[in-house]
Every structure is written in C-alpha cells, then in structure tokens.
Structure 1
Amino acid sequence: MKKILLYAFAICTFVLMAGRLQAQDYKTAVGLKFGGYENGPSIKYFMNEGTALEGIIGLRSHGVVFSGLYELHQPAFNTSGLKFYYGFGAHLGSVGSGVYKRFGGDDKIYNDSHLLLGADAVLGLEYKIAEAPIAISLDLNPRVELATGPFFDVAPGLGIKYTF
C-alpha cells in the first residue's frame, strides 16, 4: 500500500510540475494594450527566460505613439503562470491639435501638431493561463514627456495577448 501511495504521489508531482512549466513558457505574444493614454496592438518577445522586449503602437485621438520596453520577468507569489515584471524604455510619436486629458492631471491643449518624445518605465504582473495560449497583464507605466514638457505622469495599463 505504501508503494502505491508513493507511486501515486510521484506521478501527481510530475504531472503538476509539467503543467507548471508549460504554463510559464512562451516565446512570443501578440495582443492589445489598453492604457491611460493610448490603446493599440503590442508584441512581446522573450530573449531568454527572464528578459523580454515589448513594442506597442499606441493609438490616441489625433495621434500615434510608438513605445519600446526592455522588461525583466520573475515568478510572483509562488503561483504557477504568474510573473512580476519591471523595465524601462522610450516612446516617440505625435499628436495633432485638440484637448488631451492627462491621467490624474490638468487637461493639455494643443493648437497644432506636437512631437512626443520621452522615457518610459513599466511595473506589473502578467498571468499566463495554463490551458490556453492567453496571457493577461496589469501594469503601471510611469513616463517623462520631454518634447512637450517636461512633465511626469503615471498611467495604468491592461494587456491581453495570444502566446506562442
């Protein structure tokens, strides 16, 4: 009876570990990013197990912003499929004339087109669903706008990605 229990325990452990490894393992993801300022398509590529590059095309009223981020990923809370990530990057884009809502701040009024250029950071959690090729992330994106500022702000972000 003890051998049967030992074999059952070993098999269950192996199955759970195999599922855990699969749940955290993907190389590339494409999806959508919804942020405080821009919404649009994104792509994330893992260079190795803990380092990723993410590109985002952020569409906003009267403008577009291209962002690139260098991210470091670590397991979070001993939960299978959940990773904590942080990193830095930059953005470049332009906005046309209009009134722009700033997250947590005063509205900005532009009478003509403006260049957007600045430094970005990211801090968040990502969950890769074990039985599906889907990853969901929730993050904060602090950034410094240099071309039209300088000013500093923080925007929340929600990402939904297809992983492969």
Structure 2
Amino acid sequence: MKKIFLTLFISATFLLVANLSNAQDNQPQGNGDYRTAVGLKFGPFESGISVKYFPTSNVSYDGLIGFRDHGVVFTGLYELNQEAFNVPALKFYYGFGAHIGAVGKGEIDDFNGAEYYNSSHILLGADGVIGLEYTLPGAPIAISLDLDPRIELASGPYFDLAPGLGLKYTF
C-alpha cells in the first residue's frame, strides 16, 4: 500500500511540474533566472527528489520527497528569496514549513549515533531553512547549499540541524 501511495504521489508531482512548465510561456520568470526547478537533494538524514516553484519573483515553494533508512519523509517549505552579495545568479533564501513521514523498524544513524527502533512510527514536525543557491549562467542548472533546522514532534521532541546539497534542472 505504501509503494502504491508513493508511486501515485511521485506521478502526480511530475504531472504538476509538467503542467506548470507548459503554463509559463507568457509569464515573467520567477526569480529572474527560472520559474520551476526539479532535482535531487542530498543530506545526512534524507536524500530525495525536490521541486521548487516561484509564484512571484521573491517567494518560492519547495517540496521534497526524502528517502531515509527504513522510511520516507515529505517536506514542504515556504521561502523568501533575494540576491546575495550583489551577484545576480546567487540567491539567499530562508523560510519555514513542515514535514510528515514514517520510519520503519531498524537501526537509524544520525549525528547523535545509532538508534534502534523496535517498531514503525510516524514523523511529524516543523522545519526551517536558510541557504544559498547559485544558478549557472547560460545553463539550466542550479546548485544549492542549505541548513534545515527541524523539530520532530511525533516521536520527540527531537531537534536536529540537517545540511543539504541540491542539484536542480531549471526551466
């Protein structure tokens, strides 16, 4: 059942991205460089697929389907974006959001060491984000580096600060 739900969610996400890319023909670009981006994000807790969309030039929505040891986490973020260090291709962003997911039985490594969970449990919590993103001039590629402070509420409270490296295709 989980695999069916995950497959449907990923399919719906890609259909939404395709629809957004077709609808942007006569619209101004989001942050001056691109309106939508799809890519991968790598981190110590989750790595997965990310989608970023700019409804306006300085506001973006960022979604992530993160896969981790024995589980999956869905994260949604609202971000404010601005030029960093007077470099047009470099953007500073910060924001907040939430995550929901599930982790199964097994050993999970984090910065505090390994923990063993005897049963599955739900993940639910609040997220923040602060980072920099560089869009390669003349190429549809964006690279980001960020910190994601988050509080796990369902199985916690538990706080962590997860760094992330993103690589996205922009359009």
TM-score range, shorter chain: 0.7 to 0.9
Provide the C-alpha distance between the structure 2 equivalents of 1:121 and 1:136, rounded to a whole number of angstroms: 19
Q: Tell me if structure 2 keeps the 8 A contact 1:136–1:160.
A: yes
Does the alignment pair 1:70 with 2:78? yes
How many residue pairs are counted as aligned between the two chains? 142
Q: Tell me if structure 1 keeps the 8 A contact 2:32–2:57.
A: no
Q: Tell me if structure 2 keeps the 8 A contact 1:86–1:121.
A: yes
- 1:42-121 matches, cutoff 5 A: 42-103=50-111, 105-121=112-128
Partner of 2:155: 148
The letter of the residue matching 2:137 is: A
Provide structure 2 residue ranges, at least 5 long, that are not aligned to the other structure.
1-28
Provide the C-alpha distance between the structure 1 equivalents of 2:129 and 2:161, rounded to a whole number of angstroms: 10
Structure 1 residue ranges, 4+ long, deviating more than 4 angstroms after superposition: none
Superposition deviation, residue 98 in structure 1: 1.1
Superposition deviation, residue 101 in structure 1: 1.3
CA distances 1:102-132 after superposition (whole Å, capped 9, x unpaired): 23x2432210101000000000000001110
Partner of 2:167: 160
TM-score, length basis structure 2: 0.80
Provide structure 1 residue ranges, at least 5 long, that are not aligned to the other structure.
1-20
Q: Tell me if structure 1 keeps the 8 A contact 2:80–2:95.
A: yes
Q: Tell me if structure 2 keeps the 8 A contact 1:24–1:82.
A: no
Provide the C-alpha distance between the structure 2 equivalents of 1:98 and 1:67, rounded to a whole number of angstroms: 22
Q: Tell me if structure 2 keeps the 8 A contact 1:30–1:42.
A: yes
Partner of 2:10: none
How well do the aligned residues superpose, as a CA RMSD in angstroms? Answer: 1.4
Partner of 2:15: none
Provide the C-alpha distance between the structure 2 equivalents of 1:135 and 1:24, rounded to a whole number of angstroms: 13
The letter of the residue matching 2:163 is: P
Superposition deviation, residue 30 in structure 1: 0.2
Q: Tell me if structure 1 keeps the 8 A contact 2:133–2:143.
A: yes
Q: Tell me if structure 2 keeps the 8 A contact 1:73–1:85.
A: yes
